[in-house]
Structure 1
Amino acid sequence: MPATMPSDLALMPTDEKTREIALDLYSEVADAPILSPHGHVDPGILLHDTPFADPAELLITKDHYVTRLLFAAGVPLEELGVGAPGAGADPRRVWGHLAGNWHRFAGTASAYWLEYELRTLFDITDEPSAENADALYDTIQARLDDPDFRPRALFDRFGIDVLATTDDPLDDLAAHAALAADPDFRGRVLPTFRPDAYLDPEAEGFGDRVRRLIQTTAQSTDFAGYVQALRDRRAYFIAHGAVSADHGVLEPYTTDLDPAAAQDLFAHALEGRLDARAAREFRGHMLFQMAKMSVDDGLVMTVHPGVRRNHHRPTFERFGPDTGHDIPLRTDYTDNLRPLLEAFGTEPNLHLVLFTVDETSFSREIAPLAGFYPSLYIGAPWWFLDAPDAMGRWRSAVTETAGFYRSSGFIDDTRAFLSIPARHDTSRRVDASFLARLVAERRVTLPTARRIARDLVDAIPREVFKL
């Protein structure tokens, strides 16, 4: 008899009394609309409504959570269709690699999300295996050929109210404009201003990018013109519906330089002549400048620090970025952010959302900071931490210090379109279980817990991200 995947009681408490409370709370939000204010889905798939090609592209090739573990198990990336060298990989064979290695994903968040997708979208309850790989592939492919499985139909089926993308500052945002003008498309698809490559002088192609930025906005070629060019592009994004600017930095270091020092660093940065110390100063000053701009124009400022991108250079050079070897670092916030917070931390127009992949910073730094500064919010568990147990640890670590209402609401942060409802459902179940324990322990009343459960998926993210 084939092994079957978890039931709808997944992630619920094992204690019967607490489980009943958790199921009650979960029922309040199970079907609530999805707000996704930070993610990486390509808006083109919704604009063109192109059918998904095959199960491998849909569930494996573009999901580095999946490909990284298969690679670690010995499957070459080119056999998974990753990057240009993987072009032309047989999708059935790619699917077979996942099915044959299904046991290796046991206990991971990826397995839970994939199980959810297979069960709710394809009516598949048998665990994938080498023996049933072909049959499951055919079942999924048949569903992909159904018009009801095209991206726009799924957008409606998933109940997505807001979906934010992540976009280059010089993107023309044509896809967003077309979706906003399309009377047949319901929902909001919002761009997000992501200027990292234009702020880091050590980023590849920094000088060329900045020159294009200045040329596009017709600004002067000095530091003042560079800053104004960034302001102009932020205004362009706001005009196209953007509510936030995202910053993926190595460290959340901030500093406020005098104009002459900033101009000197900028001139050397354009020429590629900054050493590591000077480059850090420039990045820190520009993160400070981004906060200043957010105070002025109202864009929510999200900061995603603490990841060493492209840890294995040979893989990066062959397959490109986002291929599974971005590795977390210890991250310090209290001193690094102090210059920014002393200048802007009490400004009512600044909403600063701090994320981390360093669990030690939850209760040590981020929650205490959010418990004082009105502008600062605790970002939801991100990347390696957006998993059930880590979500529970996060709630325990931050709630006693800052409560529920200083957090951001759930952020799915995904490129994998089909995983959006799976990830949000995971968060809703974990929060229901956490709240149920507080109710069972007589620490929160049931009516208050119901309100919090609802607010976590609606009122809180709407407030934090100015939706």
Structure 2
Amino acid sequence: MLIQEDRLFPADLKTRSIAHGLYEQVRNLPIVSPHGHTQAAWFASNDPFPDPAKLFVQPDHYVYRMLYSQGISLEDLEIGQSKIKDPRRVWRIFASHYFLFRGTPTRLWLDYAFHELFGMEDLLSEKSADLYYDTISAKLQTPEFLPRALYERFHLEVLATTDSPLDSLADHKAIRESGWKARIVPNFRPDSVVDPEFPRFAESIVRLGEQTGEATTSWTGYLNALRKSRDRFREFGCTATDHGHPTAQTANLRAAEAAELFSRVFSGNADARQQELFRAQMLTEMARMSLDDGLVMQIHPGAVRNHNRQVYERYGRDTGADIPRPTNYVDALRPLLDRFGNESKLTIILFTLDESAFSRELAPLAGHYPCLRLGPPWWFLDSPEGMMRFRELATETAGFYNTVGFNDDTRAFLSIPARHDVARRVDCAFLARLVAEHRLREDEANELAHDLAYGLVKNAYRL
């Protein structure tokens, strides 16, 4: 068997039995995916995915960063190409190095998709590469494997994309106008117009002004343009914003100070300290707007992005060279929390790539401030071990109900059910241990398993 039914459950037979019982209550619940990087265009056009390499290798930085670490060039994998010229060759490279993924969460996700969707029983390898390629290619040309059919097969209730304020949202409009009843909504990701280090930052602000009819060369016009852009996203079902700042730093400047700072960053005359201060002020401004319009706010700090300069210059952003670093939350968030921390109508979901912050900073903060919730393990921590550590580190101080369930944050569409299945299994294993240790009643564990898999995410993201 490619995958085992008992995967991720405790080795102790009594605890495993409890975990099984909990899991059976939640394994078939609908999937709510409130934050990710899949493409609305897939569902707008509903065209077949072109080939296995385009589906499994090219969009998934978890895959190609591992291959690159072992000396396989991104050029050979045709990363960054809109159309792969030799997809079978790319697939054979991937298959012959599949052993590199032993013990990783990526292996769990891929094996799940290969078995559950394509019926594969043998492990992917150099020997089975062509069998896999031909089987997957054939199925991708059938109606059952069109993007909309897979959406329904995955039992998705909501799928959120992540989009720039400058995006026209034409694909979301096309989905809506097609009459298809799926709920695919955008998340508002304003990094390109709030981060002065973003390429063509000033140009993007000008475009934002043209799009909204506001004079974005002024602080007031700039803020008005952002509000209008958020309103446009809300018209397409958006319920959340997302902020990928390098740190969690916030600020609460007076209006005149903020306007002067904006003038500096817009003109390109701000130094590194002033650029960071502007990002910090914009997190507070976004919180202010969220209190007004009801959008849930997500903060994803702590990644040194595009760490490999040569890869960035050749292949662009988001090509697997992002590295976690320690992140301060207690001091960094204080200006924002001094202003809005006690607002129960505001929801700010905090993520981290710094596990040491869970028990030391994040759980105590979320366990006190009404506006704060803890996001699930993210990116490098999106693994069975990371999920279990999160529950162990956060629950004692924040409990379960100051967390927000699970989100997959993926670019790889076919990994969505696998990732949610892993999260459900790990949560059931954690709850089973509490039951076995007589720290939780089994009826409470059943209720919690449902909440962790489904209820909390719908409530937190207002879905």
| Bucket of the pairwise TM-score, normalised by the shorter protein | over 0.9
What letter corresponds to residue 303 of structure 1 in structure 2? I
Partner of 1:204: 199
Partner of 1:192: 187
- Unaligned ranges ≥5, structure 1: none
* TM superposition score normalised by structure 2: 0.98
C-alpha deviation, 1:89, in angstroms:
4.0
C-alpha deviation, 1:81, in angstroms:
1.7
| Aligned partner of 1:15 among 12, 15, 22 | 12
Partner of 2:208: 213
| Aligned partner of 2:110 among 111, 114, 123 | 114
RMSD across aligned positions (CA):
1.1
Is the 1:53–1:144 Cα contact (8 Å) retained in structure 2?
Answer: yes
- Which whole-Å CA distance do the structure 1 matches of 2:377 and 2:42 have between them? 27
- Which whole-Å CA distance do the structure 2 matches of 1:180 and 1:151 have between them? 15
- Which whole-Å CA distance do the structure 1 matches of 2:127 and 2:138 have between them? 19
Partner of 1:387: 383
Partner of 1:31: 28
Q: Does 1:265 align with 2:257?
A: no
Partner of 2:171: 175
| Aligned partner of 2:234 among 230, 238, 257 | 238
| Aligned partner of 2:153 among 148, 154, 157 | 157
Matches within 5 A, 1:42-121: 42-84=39-81, 88-121=84-117
Q: Does 1:148 align with 2:147?
A: no
- Which whole-Å CA distance do the structure 2 matches of 1:362 and 1:169 have between them? 31
What letter corresponds to residue 217 of structure 1 in structure 2? T
- Which whole-Å CA distance do the structure 2 matches of 1:210 and 1:435 have between them? 48
- Which whole-Å CA distance do the structure 2 matches of 1:447 and 1:415 have between them? 36
Is the 1:193–1:246 Cα contact (8 Å) retained in structure 2?
Answer: yes
Is the 1:294–1:349 Cα contact (8 Å) retained in structure 2?
Answer: no
- Which whole-Å CA distance do the structure 2 matches of 1:172 and 1:249 have between them? 23
C-alpha deviation, 1:76, in angstroms:
0.8
* TM superposition score normalised by structure 1: 0.97
Is the 1:79–1:89 Cα contact (8 Å) retained in structure 2?
Answer: no
What letter corresponds to residue 82 of structure 1 in structure 2? I
Instruction: Tell me the percent identity.
Output: 49
Q: Deviations over 1:255-305 (max 9, x none)?
A: 111122112111121111100111111111111101111111110000000
Is the 1:306–1:329 Cα contact (8 Å) retained in structure 2?
Answer: yes
- Which whole-Å CA distance do the structure 2 matches of 1:316 and 1:442 have between them? 52
**4+ residue segments displaced more than 3 Å:** 86-89
Deviates more, 1:139-148 or 1:412-421: 139-148
Which SS does the other structure have where 1:165 is aligned?
A: strand
- Unaligned ranges ≥5, structure 2: none
Is the 1:25–1:432 Cα contact (8 Å) retained in structure 2?
Answer: yes
- Which whole-Å CA distance do the structure 1 matches of 2:221 and 2:132 have between them? 57
Q: Deviations over 1:400-442 (max 9, x none)?
A: 1111111011010001110000000000000010000000000
Is the 1:296–1:349 Cα contact (8 Å) retained in structure 2?
Answer: no
| Aligned partner of 1:306 among 302, 309, 312 | 302
- Which whole-Å CA distance do the structure 1 matches of 2:253 and 2:399 have between them? 35
- Which whole-Å CA distance do the structure 1 matches of 2:329 and 2:121 have between them? 44
- Which whole-Å CA distance do the structure 2 matches of 1:130 and 1:236 have between them? 49
C-alpha deviation, 1:87, in angstroms:
5.2
C-alpha deviation, 1:385, in angstroms:
0.5
- Which whole-Å CA distance do the structure 2 matches of 1:408 and 1:219 have between them? 36
Is the 1:302–1:355 Cα contact (8 Å) retained in structure 2?
Answer: yes
C-alpha deviation, 1:177, in angstroms:
2.2
- Which whole-Å CA distance do the structure 2 matches of 1:55 and 1:275 have between them? 45
Q: Does 1:315 align with 2:314?
A: no
Partner of 1:435: 431
- Which whole-Å CA distance do the structure 1 matches of 2:118 and 2:210 have between them? 49
Which SS does the other structure have where 2:76 is aligned?
A: helix
What letter corresponds to residue 211 of structure 2 in structure 1? T
Q: Deviations over 1:27-83 (max 9, x none)?
A: 011000000000111011011111011111111111110000011111111111201
Q: Deviations over 1:331-387 (max 9, x none)?
A: 110110011111111112210000011110111111101100111000000000011
Is the 2:3–2:115 Cα contact (8 Å) retained in structure 1?
Answer: no
C-alpha deviation, 1:147, in angstroms:
1.3
- Which whole-Å CA distance do the structure 1 matches of 2:131 and 2:173 have between them? 41
Is the 2:327–2:357 Cα contact (8 Å) retained in structure 1?
Answer: yes
What letter corresponds to residue 146 of structure 1 in structure 2? T
